[in-house]
Amino acid sequence: MTDAPASQPQDLPSDPMTDVGHLLIRAYNGDQFDPFFVAGHPSRTKEPNVIIRSCFYYSILMTPKITMIYDNSGRGGMCDMTVDEISVIWKTPALLESLGTTFEALQDGTAVITAKEAPKPDIDLWARIAEAEGKVLKAA
């Protein structure tokens, strides 16, 4: 038996963007699990000024301007990172200020994340769609 968390397999370097991803998922929908993220996404080529972390169910894309969570609604497998999977959006500058880091530090892996939570998303697209359809998607 080991005390290593399930989300960070032993002998792998710590990844600050993974830590941020876990905080964002909790702020988005309260999920308490810490998935193992891979850097990038199979359907996306590496792009300057774009950070991507993907796991089963979620992908997180961060640019210097916006941060988005893609959610495949429990379908299983990786998100396709299509527009219909975008669930929530944060303004990256304010998000990073609240987390006490910078985009560049996350991009180069030198960020130290000490925050215990992330702010709620600036825009919850799925909740807005449900509201427009007269449905309640989830409690705020």
Chain mean pLDDT for the chain: 85
User: Which residue reads 């880091």 in tokens?
Assistant: 101
pLDDT of 38 reads 84
* Beta pairing class for 51-54 and 123-124: unpaired
- pLDDT band for 5, please (50, 70, 90 cuts): very low
pLDDT of 136 reads 63
- Tens of pLDDT, residue by residue over 87-100, are 999 999 999 999 99
Tell me the two tokens of residue 13: 């370097």
Q: Which residue has the higher pLDDT, 30 or 13?
A: 30
Q: Which residue has the higher pLDDT, 76 or 38?
A: 38
pTM above 0.85, yes or no: no
Q: Which residues contact 38 (CB under 8 A, 6 or more apart)?
A: 53, 54, 55
Among 54, 49, 53, residue whose Cα is nearest residue 16: 53
pLDDT of 11 reads 57
Mean pLDDT comparison of 24-33, 37-46, 56-65, highest-scoring range:
56-65
Give long-range contacts, CB 8 A cutoff, 24+ apart: 64-69. 64/92, 64/93, 64/103, 65/91, 65/92, 65/93, 66/90, 66/91, 66/92, 67/24, 67/91, 67/92, 67/95, 69/24, 69/25, 69/28, 69/121
Average pLDDT over residues 101-119: 95
